[in-house]
Amino acid sequence: MTLPESIASIAESQIGVRETKRNGGDMIEEYQKATWLPVGSWAWCAAFCCWVVKRAIEGRSVTFRRPETAGAWDFERWCKSVDRSVMLKKPHKGDIKRGDIVCFTFSHIGIALGSPNEAGYLYTCEGNTNGEGSREGDGVYKKTRHISKIRSRIRFRG
């Protein structure tokens, strides 16, 4: 399985995880432990993506330092700091594929589960959102987002 496919599959396996307290719970704490911040009551969308990447690279030989940021837009800075096996595209111009990390315009982050359709919509998997698509939610959800809400995309090679 390619790294992008592994990223998407691991993210999808978490759909349905819910907080058991505000910004907390056993799995949310596991996500938060994948960052440099101590576990606590803070927004964890980026932590979810860090945890997914951490799991996806287990047992693989990668040349990049894994992300450990708790900030959604800080993923862009992380991407610029690692080698060319991880590539940032901003603006993305609709070039989004399954397994890409997508940074949203509203300081939120998720993982693309496919490419945009003809109308510009794609499925994503996001932590710390809800049924309405908030960036401060209660769990891991599969969402439908329009590309106009995506600020950048991060792609992993192979």
Ranges of beta strands (E only) in 50-135 are 86-89, 101-104, 109-112, 121-129
User: Which among 44, 148, 31 is positioned nearest to 96, based on CA atoms?
Assistant: 148
The confidence score (pLDDT) of residue 158 equals 72
Amino acid residing at 32:
Q
Predicted confidence band at 144 (pLDDT cuts at 50, 70, 90)?
very high
Q: At residue 99, what are phi and psi to the nearest 5 degrees?
A: 95, -5
Residues 6+ apart with CB under 8 A from 2: 99, 158
Summarised one tens digit per residue, pLDDT across range 85-141 is 999 999 999 999 999 999 999 999 999 999 999 999 999 999 999 998 888 899 999
Separation of first and last alpha carbons in the chain: 9
The confidence score (pLDDT) of residue 100 equals 98
CB of 104 within 8 A of CB of 151?
yes
